[in-house]
Chains A and B, each alone.
Chain A
């Protein structure tokens, strides 16, 4: 997996320097003209207007950026350290692996927009909610490639360690740690923009300073220039973070970082349903226990800190339980109407564009590094723009979810399409099969594992996107229920919503995994071993 990836940094930079400046310049010009044409519509700020805004408000912007960067940095450190510790435990104690993966996924599925307000009441107005959200946003995308990387090595290396009578710890220190380094770097590259995104979402939920606070202010005040300026700065920071980590990595890495950042589908071979069931029960019990113990240990006020039993009560036995359930179900239904089409559209668009590009090999080489860099753009921070352009209706939400899903899918599919074994392509060439036939017969089957890996990882990501938009802008669906219950201090409803969304996301992830196993069994059985 490490071979075909292109380091985004040098190619992108050299590409820009080589004179492909023309494209971006034309785009900016077009953007400028469009903005002037739409002056009255309050949707598009011209690049010149953004520059003017930034130059006039650089002090305000700089302070906010500094605050958000500090929070994102702290969250980046904490989240990645947690990921490294968890991955180490999972490798040294292989029995804990399934439990760690399961819990990590469940925590990753917590909707950040609702976790934010809860952390806010727990920690008060300080930076901790933002830092924790940033950490939550990054740990999973580092943990998963690390777990893959710590295992992606020739069995001979491990036999070597064992043949000197040494155990798992020696294997970890002498062999696995270095072998996993490219995967760690790949995870960190994705984590840098994700940390920024997490910190901003944290600031949406009632911080006093930072980029997220300014974003809310700009949206409330319909300040188009400010909204655009914030999105541009956030995007620039995220891309720079991504490039800097890649650039630093080049100093001490031999291989390029891998591209696919998803774990192989959950083990659960034929006839192992029982084991999978036990696994699920263990993970659920552990999650409930951690939830309960966490509240007890932190000694939180039961008014806002609801335990598992409170949620069960609120959903099933309380006098207003039926009402709570119907509110949640109605909101979830509304959300699904945006989420499912957006998710599917993003997947299909990503796969389709990748296929189109592979048919034109000249473009594929340059599209890849660009797409990898674009994958790092914190789409959520551009949510206000999408709302500005497409309005607060269904279209804006669907498009945002689709964009969120599109980039990782596109990168994964393009990578998968290019992974097609050269020998088989040679065989097809020897029958003079055209690029289209190669695509259908060889490349698409070779792409499927990457496509499904992306589809799985995108379930929580699309839930995040839809809840953020609903929370920020559209005012319907589960995101809005969370926002409303947070501002009304209806903590029973808030915790219930968090629990239900997390469980549904995790189930969606597992459901895509199930489909993935069915497809891979036919097309890539070697991936299931």
Chain B
């Protein structure tokens, strides 16, 4: 269950003069995980939001499995998880997951929801409200909600960005296996280079705003990825390559003082 995504000449200009994304051609193969990496504020989230159909492109187009995003949304064919877990504070973890199914007009199967809660490691917290969960647990709940509709396309906007480094590593170890197992096409926006390399099959490096592709790096590392992969030389090599591309993009775009 996965779909290819094609961006053709995709560009976004805000308020008539702030250019966020320069015309970009990008294709994401079905079932692959692609990381979009770039300095903060470079327009990578805007790119993701255009793929999600949440932002109207100024020019160019997005097609998901040959259809515009709005058609995919109507079929609840994609899910998005944000840096802010965006859980409704008056609903428990279970009810927040059910919300996604409600919105997607899908049946709420108690057993499946229970299974999801187990998979993301929130056993025993199904009836807890977000305020009583730690930041990492909230992200787990948000991921569970995003996966509840079994989306063919999963969009992750810095999903582990708002938690501390240790929790972040823990989440990056625990969660990706769940969506990798279902073979969804995944787009991951992040500014953590090691996270990008660890989780994806391909890293697209973007320049500072307006976003432009600086490098497109394949990550040919064996799956499933193990935590000790991060200490291997071939991992470090790719990380270095990504860092070099990032630095190049920044050097080309910004004057020295602004870096």
CB neighbours (8 Å) of B103 from chain A are: 160-161, 164, 166, 170, 174
* B137 smallest CB distance to A (angstroms): 17
Interface flag for B90 (CB, 8 Å): yes
Interface flag for A165 (CB, 8 Å): yes
One digit per residue, 1 when the CB lies within 8 angstroms of any chain B CB and 0 when it does not, for chain A 250-287 equals: 00001000000000000000000000000000000000
B84-A163 in contact (CB<8A): no
B100-A164 in contact (CB<8A): yes
> Please, which residue of chain B has its CB at the minimum distance from the CB of A164?
B103
* A151 smallest CB distance to B (angstroms): 16
> Please, which residue of chain A has its CB at the minimum distance from the CB of B74?
A165
Known: A156-B82, A170-B103, A174-B102. A163 touches B54 (CB 8 A): yes
B88-A178 in contact (CB<8A): yes
CB neighbours (8 Å) of A160 from chain B are: 80, 86, 100, 103
Q: Name the one of A163, A166, A174, A254 contacting B80, with C-beta atoms under 8 angstroms.
A: A163
One digit per residue, 1 when the CB lies within 8 angstroms of any chain A CB and 0 when it does not, for chain B 59-86 equals: 0000000000010111110111010101
CB contacts under 8 Å to B, within A228-259, are: 254
| Cα separation A442 to B167 with both chains bound (whole Å) | 37
Q: In this complex, which of A163, A175, A254 has the most chain B Cβ atoms within 10 angstroms of its Cβ?
A: A163
A156-B86 in contact (CB<8A): yes
CB neighbours (8 Å) of A154 from chain B are: 84, 86
Interface flag for A159 (CB, 8 Å): yes
| Cα separation A164 to B70 with both chains bound (whole Å) | 9
Known: A162-B54, A165-B74. A157 touches B102 (CB 8 A): no
Interface flag for B149 (CB, 8 Å): yes
> Please, which residue of chain A has its CB at the minimum distance from the CB of B106?
A164
CB neighbours (8 Å) of B219 from chain A are: none
> Please, which residue of chain B has its CB at the minimum distance from the CB of A175?
B88
CB neighbours (8 Å) of B90 from chain A are: 178, 254
Interface flag for B247 (CB, 8 Å): no
CB neighbours (8 Å) of B100 from chain A are: 160, 164
| Cα separation A161 to B89 with both chains bound (whole Å) | 15
Interface flag for B50 (CB, 8 Å): no
CB neighbours (8 Å) of B149 from chain A are: 164
CB neighbours (8 Å) of B102 from chain A are: 174
| Cα separation A157 to B89 with both chains bound (whole Å) | 11
A174-B99 in contact (CB<8A): yes
Q: In this complex, which of B82, B104, B149 has the most chain A Cβ atoms within 10 angstroms of its Cβ?
A: B82
| Cα separation A178 to B80 with both chains bound (whole Å) | 22
| Cα separation A277 to B63 with both chains bound (whole Å) | 42
CB neighbours (8 Å) of B99 from chain A are: 174
A165-B73 in contact (CB<8A): yes
> Please, which residue of chain A has its CB at the minimum distance from the CB of B84?
A156
Interface flag for B133 (CB, 8 Å): no
B75-A165 in contact (CB<8A): yes
* A158 smallest CB distance to B (angstroms): 9
Interface flag for B52 (CB, 8 Å): yes
| Cα separation A174 to B95 with both chains bound (whole Å) | 11
Known: A156-B82, A174-B99, A254-B131. A163 touches B88 (CB 8 A): no
| Cα separation A165 to B54 with both chains bound (whole Å) | 10
| Cα separation A170 to B103 with both chains bound (whole Å) | 8
| Cα separation A270 to B73 with both chains bound (whole Å) | 36
Known: A170-B103, A254-B90. A164 touches B73 (CB 8 A): yes
| Cα separation A162 to B52 with both chains bound (whole Å) | 9
A159-B86 in contact (CB<8A): yes
| Cα separation A174 to B80 with both chains bound (whole Å) | 18
| Cα separation A161 to B104 with both chains bound (whole Å) | 9
CB neighbours (8 Å) of B72 from chain A are: 165
> Please, which residue of chain A has its CB at the minimum distance from the CB of B129?
A254
CB neighbours (8 Å) of A164 from chain B are: 73, 76, 100, 103-104, 149
A162-B73 in contact (CB<8A): yes
CB neighbours (8 Å) of A254 from chain B are: 89-90, 131
* B17 smallest CB distance to A (angstroms): 15
* B149 smallest CB distance to A (angstroms): 7
CB neighbours (8 Å) of B84 from chain A are: 154, 156
Q: Which residues of B contact A (CB under 8 A)?
A: 49, 52-54, 70, 72-76, 78-80, 82, 84, 86, 88-90, 99-100, 102-104, 131, 149
9 contacts between A and B (CB under 8 A): A157-B86, A159-B86, A160-B80, A163-B54, A163-B79, A165-B73, A165-B74, A175-B88, A254-B89
Give the 8 A-B CB pairs with smallest separation, nearest first: A165-B73, A156-B86, A164-B103, A165-B74, A163-B80, A164-B104, A156-B82, A164-B76
